[in-house]
Structure 1
């Protein structure tokens, strides 16, 4: 496994670096990772291509930064939910809502995560590790719900997690503000669909 990229950031450069990562996410989504160039990203930020090398060494560095940022934040948020004293049902509802909110906050970044073959990049192993942790935490909620008999005992935690991500992550294919669905509306409908499907019938 390769080591993580060594970004050249100081306190004064963090704001600029974040702008570069935002621009990279936008360009990767619009053009695709293979077709996007560092010059495209530099132009989006309003700087010379050569100036990017103050922050990164290559395009793969930016792919890692684009994907790692939301995944790390989502994973930390999910850890808080999993480790709370809430019931499994409440944990699952909060986890699903957090997933939707993350999509709202990081639309381009999560589009890159879901759509682009990042696993073929130099840092694909590191990115996969973060994603695997997120998956594991989601399954932990399902397993707890089954053990406490809040969720149906015939559910396979791994398959159910795949199904949940399939429904929620497909949003990157169809979501647009022009659809006139708010994230709150989507969250309520999707959450009801999942929760009603997993609850143990009394």
Structure 2
């Protein structure tokens, strides 16, 4: 990994489109393998086989097993950013906030293994990469902070900065709880039911606080 404008994984391949395509295959294989065996027990040779590559081809796109874990984590944040970019912070409406929460939770429902692996295995990354991922986590919380502040500025909510920060963290945490506990929660709730209940409880608490 190198650190220029952002941390990235080195590759000997020059074709950027090919890198994106092959690395997505590696990420998909890594998620399945890490879920089955755990990050530490999985080997790069097993990873290459799961991705359908020779070990030599694999090393053209990544250098270490930690690179794959980093790519899994970074892919999550790219998807979250893409998902939430359609909700400007200055809309200031509770309806927009509710829909942003809904879309974020639906994304988690599509990527439960990725989110679980990220939180279980981030500690296995080199320090520089681990801090990069943790910074990305703060950025994710900050997206909801900005939305909540927009609601406050529009008069839809009445919260101070401390309450806004806690509420933003709560939104992120409750969404990720679906990934960690989906095996149990889905026995009682659909994802839409879970979203409705969590959002209702969150907003009722915020409105009562305000």
Say yes or no: TM over 0.5.
yes
2:202 pairs, out of 180, 186, 194, with 194
What displacement does 1:99 show?
A: 1.3
2:107 aligned partner: 102
Offset, 1:22? 0.5
Q: Is the 8 A contact 2:92 2:153 kept in 1?
A: no
Q: Unaligned stretches of 5+ in structure 2?
A: none
3-state SS in 2 of match to 1:123: helix
Alignment of 1:1-202 (within 5 A): 2-3=2-3, 4-7=8-11, 8=13, 10=15, 11-12=17-18, 14-83=20-89, 86-118=91-123, 120-121=125-126, 122-153=128-159, 156-176=163-183, 179=187, 181-199=189-207
SS at match of 2:205: helix
Q: Which moves more between the two structures, 90-99 or 153-162?
A: 153-162
Deviation of 1:114 after TM superposition, in Å, equals 2.4
Question: Normalised by the size of structure 1, how large is the TM-score?
Answer: 0.83
Could you tell me how far apart the structure 2 residues matched to 1:190 and 1:94 are? 13
Query: Which structure shows the higher helix fraction?
Result: 2
| TM-score relative to the length of structure 2 | 0.80
Calculate the aligned-residue CA RMSD, in Å.
2.8
